[in-house]
Structures are given as C-alpha cells and as structure tokens.
Amino acid sequence: MEQPIILECRNVWKLYGAQADSFLQTHGMQPTPEALRRANIVSAVRNVDVTIRKGEIFVIMGLSGSGKSTLVRCLARLIDSTAGEIRFEGRDLLAMSGPELIALRRHKMGMVFQHFALLPHLTALENAAFPLEVQGIDRKTRLERAMQVMELVGLKGRENRYPHELSGGQQQRVGIARSLIVEPDLWFLDEPFSALDPLIRREMQDELLRLQARLHKTIVFITHDFDEAIRLADRIAVMRDGAIVQTATPEELVLNPADDYVAEFTQHIPRAKVVRLGTAAKPLGPGPFAGDLTASLRVAEAADRIEAADLPFRVLAADGAPMGQIDGRTVIDILIGREVAR
C-alpha cells in the first residue's frame, strides 16, 4: 500500500548570478550548461523532480557543491527557487504568504543544521524550547516540554549548559531536540552528522534510526557519505551538478546504477550489505529446505546461517508466500562481489 505524498516538487531550478530570473525564461526553461557558463550563472539546482511519501527516510546524496543544501532550502522555502513548483501536503508552498509560512514552520516542519546553529546566548534547554518561545508559549510549559525532548535525545542532566560547553555530538542532539519539539510531520536534516567524528557519527545514526522507529516522521536527510545514505535510507536521490541523476532504493542503486557516476559511488559498497534475500533468491526448487527466511532480510544478515546449512533456505515474501530459494553458493557469490544475475 502506497503512503500519501507529503512533499512533491516539479522542475525546480535555482540559479545564482546576475539576471538569473529572466535568464531561464529567455532560454525556454531548458538552458544548456554552455549557455549558463557563458552568462556566468551558477545553477545550484537544475530541473529537479522529487516525490516524498509519508513515513519514509528520503536521502539526498551527492558530492560537496552538488546543490544538496540549496535544494533542501528550496524545499523548506528558506530560499525562493528560481522556477518550478513545490507542494506540501497538496498545498502550493510557493504561493504561501509570510504568516502562513511561519505557521507551517511552527507546527509542521523541523530542520537540523550541519553546524548545529544553536543560539549562543541560550542554554541547551532554552535552545530546545526556542520554537515554543517564539510561539509565545509560557516559560514553564515550554521548558517542561523541552525537558521531555532533551530526555528523548539522551541529554538529560546537561540542560543548563551553554552550547560552547557541549561537545559536537551533544550540540547536535540539542539541534535535534529543538527541531523535534514542535512535533513536525516533515523533518529536514542537512548533513547533520558531517561535522562529527566517525565514531560519534555512527552512534548518532543509530540514534536517528531509534528515534524514527518511535516517532515515524517523514525525513529528508542530506549527506555526502554514501555509507551513511545506505544505512539510513528507504530511498536515495543522487545529485550531481545540481541535477538528480537517479532516485531509487539503496538496493536498486547498487545493482542498477543509472550511469557511471552513480556506479562510481556504489562500487566499494559490499553488495551483501544492500542486497536483500528477495532479490538474490533463485527460482523455488523442489526442496528439501533447511528453513524459511523473509525476503526483506539483507544477505549479510543471513549469510552465516545459510552458509552453515547444507540445504538451501526458502525465501518468503512479506505475505508469507514462498517466492524462491537461496543457497550458500549464491551468498558466497554476493559476498565476494561476483556478478549476480537478477
């Protein structure tokens, strides 16, 4: 069953430079890269289509300067896109007035920033309570509420520290608490863990997955790290030079990269960590079988059991119907990276 669409954008452009607005019209909404370069215009986002469904983790991934931040700022309408349409829950985001937009941000959207963007003059707790403060909610209520989110992100006991007294990971937890306090439906995270060291980053990724398992938000997550994308994503959009090259599940991306650029990214990713049993399964044989496994399991997760058994395993689809079988040999093929037939 498909979830309803929460955010959708069509043909979004964002150009920087002199006369960027009229430029697009004069070039029939389809300027060539050469024309852009000649006019000295940077196209940070070009002709992007995105559809984000309720409850998914949608990762936008690309190298530095590929336009991820610009795109997400267009989606949150922190900056106005040069052209295109953006709909939030079916409403035209670009047509919204200032007060409507403020109301939207006060109740439906949250954002976490790469460099934390905490207010230096407020304590961690006051920072987390800030969105409620600007709504005019009284101090006692908002601090109580902030206390709850601080607990949620595991910062209990550090409420009264100032940002500069917290480590990077702790600061980002405050940033997360602040963005969650209004219980947003749509949650933007712009490279939230890039400024953290690798160990803390892993820890925070687990934290995010744990939070998501409880809260079921719709998440738009930006990263330039493909490993991070694969760990978190339901779907990934790969950006290059402002355009989206491919939007797909991590598995599809690894198995069927749209072009060499995407292939380059996916090359070093161990297939077993991405490919699911359902994809790797061979047609169902007569048996006998060592047991049953669900199709959504990743190969790496079931590899030990499959290899240890002499007989193949039966693979069951989500509804419990058998859809194929998998044996040790197939798993080894995938583990050592030999081409897998689909």
Partner 1 sequence: MRRWRPADLLFWGGLALVTLVLSLASKQIGVATGWKWLTKFPKGWELHADRAISAAMKWLVEDAALGPLRFRDLTRLLSALVEAPYFVLRDFLIDGFQIGQGQQAVPVLPHVSWLVVVLGFGLLAHRAGGFRLAALVVASFLYLLLFGLWESAMVTLASVAIAVPLGVGLGILLGIAAFRFRWVDMALRPVLDLMQTVPVFAYLVPILFLFGFGAMSALVATIIYAMPPMVRITTLGLRGVPEEIVEAGRMSGCTPRQNLWKVRLPAARGMLMVGVNQVIMLTLNMVIIASMIGAGGLGYQVLTALRKLDVGAGVEAGFGIVILAVALDRLSQAIARRSPAVPAEGGWIARHPRSLALLAVLLVSYPLGALLPALNSFPESWQLSTGSFWQEVISWINLNLYDQIEAVKVFALTWVLVPVKLFLLGIPWVWGLVLAFAIPAKIGGWRLGLMGLAMASFIAASGLWPEAMITLYLCGVSVVIAMLIGVPLGVWAGQNAQANAVLTLVIDTLQTLPTFIYLIPVVMLFRVGDFSAMIAVVLYAVVPAVRYAAHGIRSIDSQLVEAGLVSGCTPRQLLWKVKLPLAMPSILLGLNQTIMLALSMLVITALVGTRDLGQEVYIALTKANVGKGVVAGLAVAFLAIMSDRIITAAVNRKRGEDHA
Ligand X SMILES: Nc1ncnc2c1ncn2[C@@H]1O[C@H](COP(=O)(O)OP(=O)(O)OP(=O)(O)O)[C@@H](O)[C@H]1O
Q: Which of residues 201-260 bind ligand X (CB under 6 A)?
A: 224
Looking at the Cβ atoms of 129 and 334, the one nearer to partner 1 is 129
Q: Does 68 bind ligand X (CB under 6 A)?
A: yes
Three-class DSSP category at 87 = strand
Question: Shortest gap between Cβ of 71 and ligand X (angstroms)?
Answer: 7
Question: Shortest gap between Cβ of 20 and ligand X (angstroms)?
Answer: 9
Which of Mg ion, partner 1, ligand X, none has residue 105 at its interface (CB below 5 to 8 Å by kind)? partner 1
3-state helix, strand, coil in the chain (%, to 5): 40, 25, 35
Q: Does 40 bind ligand X (CB under 6 A)?
A: no
CA diameter of the chain: 70
Q: Does 192 bind ligand X (CB under 6 A)?
A: no
Three-class DSSP category at 102 = helix
User: How far is the C-alpha of 340 from the C-alpha of 313, rounded, in Å?
Assistant: 18
Which of Mg ion, ligand X, partner 1, none has residue 54 at its interface (CB below 5 to 8 Å by kind)? none
Cβ within 8 Å of residue 44, ≥6 positions away: 14, 15, 16, 67, 70, 71, 242
Looking at the Cβ atoms of 152 and 236, the one nearer to Mg ion is 236
Question: Shortest gap between Cβ of 302 and Mg ion (angstroms)?
Answer: 37
Q: Which residues make up the interface to partner 1 (CB under 8 A)?
A: 73, 76, 78, 98, 102-103, 105-106, 109-111, 113-115, 117-123, 130-131, 133-135, 160-162, 164, 175, 178-179, 182, 188
User: How far is the C-alpha of 310 from the C-alpha of 142, rounded, in Å?
Assistant: 60
| Residue corresponding to tokens 């760990």 | 231
Closest to 50 in 3D by CA, of 24, 96, 81, 17: 81
Which of Mg ion, ligand X, partner 1, none has residue 44 at its interface (CB below 5 to 8 Å by kind)? ligand X
Q: Does 328 bind ligand X (CB under 6 A)?
A: no
Is residue 164 within 8 A of residue 48, CB to CB? The reply is no
Q: Does 291 bind ligand X (CB under 6 A)?
A: no
Beta bridge partners of 315: 293, 324
Q: Which residue is nearest to Mg ion (CB)?
A: 69
Q: Segment near ligand X (CB under 6 A), from 62-70, 138-146, 161-169, 207-215?
A: 62-70
Looking at the Cβ atoms of 184 and 312, the one nearer to partner 1 is 184
- Residues 27, 31, 36, 41, CA torsion sign: positive
Looking at the Cβ atoms of 78 and 323, the one nearer to Mg ion is 78
Looking at the Cβ atoms of 65 and 337, the one nearer to ligand X is 65
Question: Shortest gap between Cβ of 191 and Mg ion (angstroms)?
Answer: 6
Which of ligand X, Mg ion, partner 1, none has residue 120 at its interface (CB below 5 to 8 Å by kind)? partner 1
Cβ within 8 Å of residue 295, ≥6 positions away: 276, 277, 278, 281, 315, 316, 317, 318, 323
Q: Does 64 bind ligand X (CB under 6 A)?
A: yes
Q: How many helices and strands (H and E) does the chain possess?
A: 14, 13
Site residues (CB under 6 A) for ligand X?
16, 42, 44, 62, 64-70, 224
